[in-house]
């Protein structure tokens, strides 16, 4: 049986490599998509996100100093780079030529106006071509204004209740002012950085497309008329089945490994330890083969099978968190996502990416293998019937 199965595997692989669309689907498209997502959406949540800000302080008073101090705190976190400039014109010029996303103008008398409870103005100049940096800049100014207003309200309340040292209260309030802290809420607690999330998510999503060719090739053999010739040859039905599934497994593993290496080297994605990644990929490909075989074998033609499989794979991929973290959804959808192999693969890669060891990977790995056994058994039985069906 082995020789015939390997012969069929080799033939299928040769056909697959000559079919450029298959290579596109297996490697080029997912790799390209991962790159595009990383480049376009990555800066939103990437921990290394940073925007340039320019400040002209014409006031020099204590509240202007407080604003500078707040910006310095944010700069220390790595989210902004602050440049102090000497004039309002210089700030506006830097914004105009896109050198900075946001410019702050602290006018003369700003601190005095705040202390006197008069109207104080902090001017924010933004570059519309840097929308994300601009929004961050405005948010920082809003946060500072809200804080100042809170201090003002507290002092006014204290004075109304009989306090006799407003200047001392203001100073005390400034002393106790909490530093504004920005945190990467999108990546915090997920274990993935942005590149790693999209690299593994896209790889898992396309893995299910790539492996479907195994069962589709059985339908193709029937439609193309070559299946009778295989069945008439002095080989067993099992040889045909094993040969085709082995080709599908090898293509699935190879394409995912290529994505793993490419996204690691080119995007800096972190898939975790090599052994764990290989184990997860192999288990995932097996589960993917089972799912696609179980689904595609209900179709009568390769076209039908492709359509049904694509529908199931896309829905499962969405539910399973290959495009966005499942942690962002709740309720029924969160529960449903756990019945997809995609969820457990992503969970395995999340733990692996976070540096967790093999023992920590076992729960998601066990779930994936359970999917592989159940779906694979159904797929195997149905594929065997498919080989003999005429």
CB of 390 to another protein, least distance (A): 7
Minimum CB distance to another protein smaller for 11 or for 152: 11
Q: What is the 3-state secondary structure (H, E, C) of the chain?
A: CHHHHHHHHHHHHHHHHHCHHHHHHHHHHHHHHHHHHHHHCHHHHCCCCCEEEEEEECCCCHHHHHHHHHHHHHHHCCCEEEEECCCHHHHHHHHHCCCCCEEEEECCCHHHHHHCCCCCCCEEEECCCCHHHHHHHHHHHHHHHHHHHHHHHHHHHHHHCCCCCHHHHHHHHHHCCCCCCCCCCCCCCCCCCHHHHHHHHHHHHHHHHHCCHHHHHHHHHHHHCCHHHHHHCCCCHHHHHHHHHHHHHHHHHHHHHHHHHHHHHHHCCCCCCHHHHHHHHHHHHHHHHHHHHHHHCCCCCHHHHHHHHHHHHHHHHHHCCCCCCHHHCCHHHHHHHCCCHHHHHHHHHHHHHCCCCHHHHHHHHHHHHHHHHHHHHHHHHHHHHHHHCC
CB of 2 to another protein, least distance (A): 12
Minimum CB distance to another protein smaller for 16 or for 190: 16
Minimum CB distance to another protein smaller for 87 or for 226: 226
Minimum CB distance to another protein smaller for 233 or for 307: 233
Question: Count of residues binding another protein (CB under 8 A)?
Answer: 24
Per CB under 8 A, contacts with another protein among 221-240 are 224-226, 228-237
Minimum CB distance to another protein smaller for 174 or for 237: 237
Minimum CB distance to another protein smaller for 22 or for 115: 22
Per-residue contact track with another protein, 76 to 105, x per CB under 8 A? Answer: ------------------------------
Per-residue contact track with another protein, 189 to 228, x per CB under 8 A? Answer: -----------------------------------xxx-x
CB of 11 to another protein, least distance (A): 5
Per-residue contact track with another protein, 9 to 38, x per CB under 8 A? Answer: --x--xx--xx-------------------
CB of 300 to another protein, least distance (A): 17
Q: Does 390 bind another protein (CB under 8 A)?
A: yes
Minimum CB distance to another protein smaller for 11 or for 382: 11
Residues forming the site for another protein (CB under 8 A): 3-4, 7-8, 11, 14-15, 18-19, 224-226, 228-237, 388, 390
């Amino acid at each position: 049986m082995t020789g015939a199965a390997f012969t069929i595997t080799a033939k299928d692989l040769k056909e697959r490599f000559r079919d450029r669309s298959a290579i596109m689907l297996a490697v080029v498209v997912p790799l390209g998509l991962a790159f595009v997502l990383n480049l376009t959406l990555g800066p939103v949540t990437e921990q290394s996100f940073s925007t340039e800000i320019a400040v002209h302080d014409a006031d020099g008073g204590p509240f202007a100093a407080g604003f500078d101090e707040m910006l310095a705190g944010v700069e220390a976190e790595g989210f902004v780079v602050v440049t102090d400039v000497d004039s309002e014109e210089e700030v506006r010029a830097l914004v105009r030529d896109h050198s900075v996303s946001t410019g702050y103008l602290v006018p003369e008398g700003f601190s005095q106006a705040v202390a006197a409870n008069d109207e104080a103005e902090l001017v924010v100049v933004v570059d519309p071509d840097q929308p994300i940096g601009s929004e961050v800049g405005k948010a920082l100014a809003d946060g500072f204004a809200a804080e100042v207003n809170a201090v003002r309200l507290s002092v006014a309340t204290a004075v109304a209740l009989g306090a006799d040292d407003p200047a001392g209260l203001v100073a005390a309030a400034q002393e106790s002012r909490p530093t504004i802290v920005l945190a990467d809420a999108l990546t915090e607690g997920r274990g993935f950085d942005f590149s790693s999330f999209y690299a593994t998510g896209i790889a898992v999503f396309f893995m299910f497309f790539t492996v479907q060719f195994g069962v589709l090739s059985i339908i193709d053999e029937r439609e193309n008329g070559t299946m009778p010739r295989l069945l008439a040859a002095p080989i067993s039905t099992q040889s045909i089945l094993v040969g085709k599934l082995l080709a599908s497994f090898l293509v699935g593993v190879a394409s995912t490994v290529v994505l793993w290496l490419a996204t690691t080297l080119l995007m800096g994605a972190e898939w975790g330890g090599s052994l764990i990644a290989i184990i997860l990929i192999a288990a995932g490909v097996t589960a993917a083969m089972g799912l696609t075989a179980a689904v595609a074998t209900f179709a009568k033609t390769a076209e039908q099978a492709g359509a049904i499989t694509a529908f199931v794979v896309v829905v499962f991929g969405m539910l399973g968190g290959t495009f966005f973290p499942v942690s962002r959804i709740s309720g029924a959808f969160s529960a449903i996502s756990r019945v997809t192999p995609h969820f457990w693969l992503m969970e395995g890669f999340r733990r692996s990416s976070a540096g967790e060891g093999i023992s920590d990977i076992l729960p998601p790995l066990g779930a994936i293998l359970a999917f592989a056994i159940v779906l694979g058994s159904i797929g195997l039985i149905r594929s065997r019937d498919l080989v003999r069906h005429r």
